[in-house]
Chains A and B, each alone.
Chain A
Amino acid sequence: MPGRVVTIQPHEPTLGERLYLPLLQGMALTLKKFVANVFTPKTRPTIEYPEQRRQYSDRYRGRHILKTREDGSLKCVACYMCATACPADCINIVAGEHPNLAYEKYPTVFEIDLLRCVMCGFCVDACPKDAIWMTKDYEMSYFSRQDAIYGIPELTEKPSDTGEGGPGYGYRPYYGASPAKKAGQFEPSGLSLLPMTLARNAAINRVPPPPPKPPAPAPAKPAA
């Protein structure tokens, strides 16, 4: 078997161990920690929730919010991508027709059952309209199952969620598949996906890709 293998020999207890002396070392360690925790509160590892809160990163996957355009309407166009991407099937959308042809649809009903949601963030990844983000809000406890079904009023982005004093934005659409790009950048990379699309269409539609151009015909050779 390749690789370095280190054999741990069966342990024979030494005289010191048989006299229980190393226990004193262990007890000294616990005593040291005890004294440190009692007399120097700054080194205490305990986060005293609810007075102190742990600082989560900007990628924390908490409660969802629906983002709005400048005029206050939801960016969501009820395309059902988040509902399809969700492994827990916890998003319920009913689409309605939007008078503005550029938007075409809007959600009349957009509900997330937070007691089914596994906080995976796939809905954020799947949204093509930058319409659903997640916040750092994790305080979700309810007294009935109906309370946990959040509709458009509860989900729409509010200053209390994302402004001063609120939990703040968490998981948001990242440009993760962008080659050599860091998260959050939005420069156009000049990449075009057209060649790949043509090849893929050819494969899916079972249409053979356009044949390579035949080489220029060689000058006729006399028969041998």
Chain B
Amino acid sequence: MNDKKVYLPTARIEPPLAPGVPSTVGSDFLTTKLDALVQWGQKNSLWPMPFGTACCAIEFMSSVSSHYDLARFGAEVVRFSPRQADLMIIAGTITDKQAPILRKIYDQMPEPKWVISMGVCACTGGFYRAYHVVQGVDEIVPVDVYVAGCPPTPENLIHGLIELQKRIQSGELARHREAKTYVPIRVGTDPQVESLPAWSKAVMAPGRSHGREFPEMAESAEAEAAEAEKGSKA
């Protein structure tokens, strides 16, 4: 990655929910059953807010159409207002220009909220290792489920939704969010991202073949460029 210009995103650190108050007050029978009931309700009435930008938005529209029908999972009410939604489905490439807007919309959603990153462009930047594309929306918002595919078929998206529902029911995701204060990926303290190999994170850099380190090719490319310059000056 290019170290000359440091990219610092605008994401703020998300505060933990009501500090000092744990999610389960004690662990007796009544409150765990109440938790289970609440989680059952939450998982079966996820109202999506489709932050659709590109081709994945078309596949999202296919998912809510009659062929696949996301409404069968309780996601009937597709709300484009973030204030009335609890699931943000980021469908499509997010560019640097769109990034502040994504963060603003995410902040406007009330808790509890979940994020599905649909499609490889939203998850990692996809094959756009370029100067205007955010290399994964987890630079900006915390993501719960990454759905792969370009674009993912509607069944794949529903599979991701079902996985999310399972984790909501088990309480894993609510606990997960409370325990961790989200720090944006590029600041470098997120252990999940540090463990990713560099070749997966790399954005296109000069003298390299597709962002991968081929030192002999870079040397020969530089030698060729130097020769060409000498040739043009001569």
- Size of the chain B interface, CB-CB below 8 angstroms: 43
CB of A141 within 8 A of CB of B159, answer yes
CB of A45 within 8 A of CB of B197, answer no
Contacts of B5 in A (CB 8 A): none
Q: Is A148 an interface residue (CB 8 A)?
A: yes
CB of B200 within 8 A of CB of A116, answer yes
Identify A149's interface contact among B67, B68, B147, B200, CB under 8 A.
Answer: B200
In Å, the complex CA distance between A149 and B193 comes to: 12
Q: Is A119 an interface residue (CB 8 A)?
A: yes
| Interface stretch (choices A9-17, A47-55, A158-166, A204-212) | A47-55
| Interface stretch (choices A83-91, A126-134, A194-202) | A83-91
Contacts of B159 in A (CB 8 A): 49-50, 138-139, 141
Residue of B150, B162, B192 with highest tally of chain A CB at under 10 A: B150
The size bracket of the interface on A is 20 to 34
User: Main SS of chain A's interface residues?
Assistant: loop
Contact flag A145-B156 (CB < 8 Å), given A46-B69, A88-B127, A89-B127:
no
CB distance from A213 to the nearest CB of B (A): 39
- Chain A contacts with B in 105-152, Cβ cutoff 8 A: 111, 113-120, 138-146, 148-149
Interface residues of A (CB under 8 A from B): 45-50, 53-54, 84, 87-90, 92, 111, 113-120, 138-146, 148-149
Interface residues of B (CB under 8 A from A): 66-69, 72, 120, 123-127, 129, 136, 138, 144-150, 152-156, 158-160, 162-163, 167, 192-193, 195-197, 199-200, 209-212
